[in-house]
Amino acid sequence: MATTVNPIDIQPRQVANKSDKRALLDAIRMTLKIQSPAVRHNTQTFNRNRYAAVAKIADYDQLKDHARQIKEQAIADSPRLLKQLEESVVRNGGHFYLAPSAFDADNYIRNVLVQHGVKLVVKGKSITSEEIRLNHWLEASGIQVAETDLAEFILQVADEQPSHIIAPALHYSRERITALFKRKFQTNLPLDTGEELTKFAREKLREQFIAADAGISGANLIAADTGSIMLVESEGNIRMTTTLPPLHIAIAGIEKVIPSREQFGTFLELLPASATGQPLTSYVSILHPPLKAPPFAAPGKQEKPREFHLVLIDNGRSRMREDPVLREALYCIRCSACLNSCANFETVGGHAFGGETYSGGIGGSWEAGTGELMNARFSELCTACSRCVNQCPVRIDIPWLNENLRQRMNQAQSPSFGRSLFGELAGSAPQDRIAPLQKQFFGNYDTFAKWGTTVAGPANSSLESPFFGSVMESVFGVDHRRELPKFPDKSWVDLYREEHRNGAAPQAGDRPALAVFADVFTNFGYPERGMAAIRVLRKCGYDVDLTPSVSDGRAALSQGMIDTARHHAEAMLKVLRPYLDSGRLLVVVEPSVLAMFRHDLCHLTEDQSLFETLRSISFEPMQLVWKAAQDFGLDLRSRFPAERWHHGARLFYHSHCQQRTCNAATETLDVLRACGFDVVTSSVECCGMAGSFGYKAEYYDLSMAVGEDLFAQVRKAEEGEPPRQLVASGISCSEQLSAGLKRPIHHPLEILDGIDR
Ligand code: SF4
Ligand code: SF4
């Protein structure tokens, strides 16, 4: 579907609006070719710093709860707060304008500037001004706009949209900025270091600050009780923008209003740490405009009294407030933690994983909320890996927002008889039969896996045929370069039943009784792994039973087929009920399914108390192995001695993204090390495969580019040393590692099971 345009000829603005899928695909190609190294370096630095910074906040979780509570209350109470804020601003001597639309905001600001005879305005720290295309509007009226934030200055020179919500030019390497400045300013000055570039920009901007007739700023937060504005920044330009010119206009979305100035403190603790990993940014301004300080008059200019206008922008936000899903996006404080912790974003940045203004996992909701639904198409790059969920300081469930956007985009398609018939045969819920064939194929994995396993021989022969591969690519968009997993002759449940028939099942142990959930991915894809789980848990003394295999809803949910996911989840809960009633703990081998029990199921079932029960009794198997050692004194070193594993004791272990989000990863490492293995671990957020994402032809290149970080970590761990055995907990991760490194991948349970004592 991608065009044949050479990626180096694609300008970011040409592909900013992703409502046409070709723009998204071109943007991916362009960013992979040009921007990826700078985006990777900068986002990963922010991300590392963020982990270090939040680890030092003693009451981090309580702070997040408190911030969430403030924002929930503020949005619920928004109409009253806006009235109160208006009174506060007027009482302070300022002007207040609530703009229903982008047009109204632009018009109001233009009129104020024209009335004051403004010819040059300095501006900074306002992504909202980008949303309303303010520069364009003012320049069309003959008013010059000078961006004063260094990154925004770079973008203005380059004529590009932001690629990141706090570091808008993060896609530029130092070398590219040098080349840009030399080309645009026709200068021979040395611009080869960060200092030289900053000095050059600063000298240009100083002239503008002194000459400007007005300053336009954004606002991180606004307090309704006092009319105070909080601004955090690194460069000091906002301080100059808001204090030097006599006329100051602050623009912000209505969601920035919170009840009181005292509440700024909570966000000041969270925002810089979540954004750049700083305990506090270099400049924090809490303004109470209009300023009372004497006005500044540049040489040769007449002194004018200070004047302040607060322009609050609705532009779809009230609609978002009424929307049960998009309302959550209004809690966002634009810290960018969700961008920097997202492996896909780290690889392509916001010029691909973003729209005309907003980017990253949260960006789709903002583009849809303030514009058109289809502008959020780039949210397809959200694989629901969940890595951003714990990083969000206001606890926004970003993957859930994106799954809903996907559902809405699916349902915006025109009906088709073929898709509907296919959906009926495959098992889609009636409302989801409108979804594209590719989504219905991946969303009904359980159906196809069941069919494939029933006729495993012929099905596997087909998988090897190039003709079948090209049919799968053209009909279902499955990339021909990916090897589809073979169907087993016997599913996990078949193997388990066979074991029982042969009387080989060991007697019940004296530890807690377990029900191992036969998830469809392990059941039809890796049944031997499932059996290894059962054997290892029994070796640890547990009484283990296997449930029937049913879909948990994960596959459908990830395709935005939420109704299908709900049907699957409800059916699964019926199957699990007797196991829960009998008091068994639930064990889940595949980490993405564990994430369903621990987290996503809350969206799919009305029975929240059942969800809470499941969340508290579901475990990754290695957690229970570790529990056997910790609580019951099992000596892992003698039970599973590393030196008896015939592949050696040196391992490279990659845990699954959702396993880490569920806090269910460290025990694997603990167990392997306790058994005597020498383990090096990966530190990537996600391997890039992410379930079906890496299989999709249009995203294969991105998926492999994301995986490159993981492959590089393996190579680095083996530099000058003999190779390590590769170990992964997730099916997707195994497939990605195998595709990238062409080596066998082991599961931790299979290692323990394979130890020959
Ligand atoms: S869920 Fe994963 S892919 Fe989606 S936005 Fe969050 S980190 Fe990115
Ligand atoms: S969604 Fe959360 S993590 Fe992402 S920018 Fe907003 S506040 Fe930050």
| 335: its two tokens | 């810290």
Rounded average pLDDT over 18-41: 97
To test the pocket of ligand 1, the residue of 164, 379, 387, 732 to mutate (highest count of ligand atoms within 8 Å of its CB) is 387
Average pLDDT over residues 268-283: 93
What pLDDT, on a 0 to 100 scale, did the predictor assign at position 295? 81
**Nearest protein CA to atom 8 of ligand 2, as residue:** 335
pLDDT in tens, 52-80: 999 999 999 999 999 999 999 999 999 99
Residue 333 CA, ligand 2 centroid: distance in Å:
6
CA of 686 to the centre of ligand 1 (A): 9
For 238, 299, 309, 565, the CA distances from 242, given in Å and listed in that order, are 6, 19, 11, 50
Ligand nearest to the CA of 337: 2
Find the 734 Cα to ligand 2 centroid distance in Å: 30
Show the ligand 2 pocket: residues with CB < 6 angstroms. 274, 332-338, 362, 391-394, 396, 398
CA–centroid distance, residue 39 to ligand 1 (Å): 16
**Of 400, 404, 358, 364, which Cα lies nearest the Cα of 381?**
364
Query: Given this model, what pLDDT does residue 725 score?
Result: 97
Across 349-367, average pLDDT: 98
Q: Whose CA is nearest to atom 2 of ligand 1?
A: 385
Q: What pLDDT is stored for residue 757 in this prediction?
A: 59
pLDDT above 60: residue 321: yes
Cβ pair 247, 116 in contact under 8 A:
yes
CA 256 to ligand 2 center in whole angstroms: 13
Ligand 2 centroid–CA 392 distance in Å is 5
Task: Report CA(220)–ligand 2 centroid distance (Å).
Answer: 13
DSSP code, position 416? -
Predicted confidence band at 354 (pLDDT cuts at 50, 70, 90)?
very high
Peptide linkage before 290 cis (omega within 30 of 0): yes
- What CA–CA distance (Å, rounded) separates 377 from 355? 8
Which residues neighbour 471 within 8 Å (Cβ) at sequence distance 6 or greater?
none
State the distance from the centre of ligand 1 to the C-alpha of 714, rounded, in angstroms: 23
CA distance 582 to 578: 6
Using the predicted structure, report yes or no on whether residue 312 has a pLDDT greater than 80.
yes
What digits encode the pLDDT tens for the residues 659-675?
999 999 999 999 999 99
Question: How high is the mean pLDDT of the chain?
Answer: 95
Largest CA distance in the chain: 99
Q: Residue 1 above 50 pLDDT?
A: no
Tell me, in angstroms, the distance from the centre of ligand 1 to residue 148's CA. Answer: 31
pLDDT grade, residue 294 (50/70/90)?
confident
Across the beta sheet with 283-287, the strand order is 257-258, 221-223, 229-233, 283-287
Helix and strand counts by DSSP (H, E) for the chain: 36, 18
pLDDT at 595 over 50: yes
Distance from the CA of 332 to the center of ligand 2, in angstroms?
5
**Backbone phi, psi, residue 454, to 5°:** -65, -35
Instruction: Confirm if 38 and 173 have CB atoms less than 8 A apart.
Output: yes
pLDDT of 299 reads 79
Scan for tokens 């200070």, then name that residue: 306
Mean pLDDT of all residues in 509-529: 92
Ligand closest to Cα of 275 equals 2
Mean pLDDT of 351-374: 98
* For residue 610, pLDDT beyond 90: yes
Instruction: Respond yes or no on whether the N-terminal peptide bond of residue 436 is cis (omega within 30° of 0).
Output: no
* CB of 385 sitting under 6 A from ligand 1: yes
Is pLDDT above 90 for 131?
yes
Q: Which of 362, 379, 383, 559 to mutate to test the pocket of ligand 1 (most atoms within 8 A of CB)?
A: 383
When pLDDT is cut at 50, 70 and 90, the band that residue 507 belongs to is low
Q: How confident is the model at residue 516 (pLDDT cuts 50, 70, 90)?
A: very high
pLDDT value at position 756?
Answer: 74
Q: Is the CB of 348 under 6 A from ligand 1?
A: no
**pLDDT at residue 504, as a whole number:** 60
Ligand nearest to the CA of 362: 2
pLDDT band, residue 303 (cuts 50/70/90): confident
- In tens, the pLDDT along 447-489 reads 999 999 999 999 999 888 889 999 999 999 999 999 888 999 9
Q: On the CB side of 339, how many CA atoms lie within 13 Å of its CA?
A: 34
Tell me, what's the pLDDT at 505? 57
> Residue 510 above 70 pLDDT?
no
Of the listed ligands, the closest to the CA of 389 is 1
The upper half-sphere exposure of residue 517, i.e. CA atoms within 13 Å in the direction of its Cβ, equals 32
- Residues 103-122 pLDDT 10s: 999 999 999 999 999 999 99
The proportion of the chain whose per-residue pLDDT surpasses 70, expressed as a percent, equals: 98
Nearest residue (CA) to ligand 1, atom 8: 342
383 ligand 1 Cβ < 6 A = yes
Query: How many CB atoms within 10 Å of residue 479?
Result: 18
Average pLDDT for 532-545: 95
pLDDT score at 412: 95
Which whole number is the average pLDDT over 164-183?
95
Give the residue with greater pLDDT, 299 vs 63: 63
Cα–Cα distances in Å, from 171 out to 33, 37, 501?
A: 12, 8, 61
Q: How far is it, in rounded angstroms, from Cα 597 to Cα 282?
A: 42
When pLDDT is averaged across residues 521-527 and rounded to a whole number, the result is 96
Residue 218 has pLDDT above 90, yes or no: yes
Mean pLDDT of 430-454: 95
Q: In angstroms, rounded to a whole number, what is the distance separating the alpha carbons of residues 316 and 327?
A: 11
Closest residue (by CA) to atom 5 of ligand 1?
361
Alpha carbon of 31 to ligand 1 centroid (Å):
18
The ligand 1 atom at the shortest distance from the C-alpha of residue 381 is 3
Q: pTM, whole model, 2 decimals? A: 0.96
Strand-strand pairing, 221-223 and 257-258: parallel
Mutating to test ligand 2, I would choose from 220, 357, 362, 367 the residue with most ligand atoms within 8 A of its C-beta, which is 362
Among 43, 164, 328, 342, say which to mutate for ligand 1: greatest number of ligand atoms within 8 Å of CB: 342
